[in-house]
Amino acid sequence: MTVYNLEVTVPLNVTDISRVSVPIEIEGEVLHRVYILIPYGHMELTGIRIRYGDKQIIPWNEGSWIKGGGRELNLTPNWILPESPCTIWIDAYNLDVCYDHTFYITLETTTYEEVFGPELYPQVIDQLAKVLGVV
């Protein structure tokens, strides 16, 4: 398991159109866990999402954002990385006109076998090969 920690600070008055986008390069086979801390004070004026290229990963529904204040999220997307290393993007906005705000993110990557178990590992590899067109 590999753990990545980052803080994303968004200046005041940044809309979802002019959002801050921070790349992070991760390695592994599966994005297993994502922890997001949205501190008190954000007051639903901020939003965050994670994407790979144009594909939104978190939250899953395209064009949506995670909002909040005093909110901790512990997500297990088990998203299979299409390559390793893999660059994903953290997008964030801040509609607050008085203060900058910071999100705290932890990402954990791991292997197929750790997530899907040794009995499902060959099936996952076969399905991935079909999707990638190498079979």
Confidence at residue 129, expressed as pLDDT on a 0 to 100 scale: 76
80 touches 52 (CB < 8 A): no
73 touches 34 (CB < 8 A): yes
How many Å from the N-terminal Cα to the C-terminal Cα in the chain?
28
| pLDDT tens figures, 35-56 | 999 999 999 999 999 999 999 9
For 62-75, what is the mean pLDDT? 96
pTM (predicted TM-score):
0.86
d(CA 52, CA 85): 12
Q: Which domains does the chain have, with CATH numbers?
A: 2-132 (2.60.120.380)
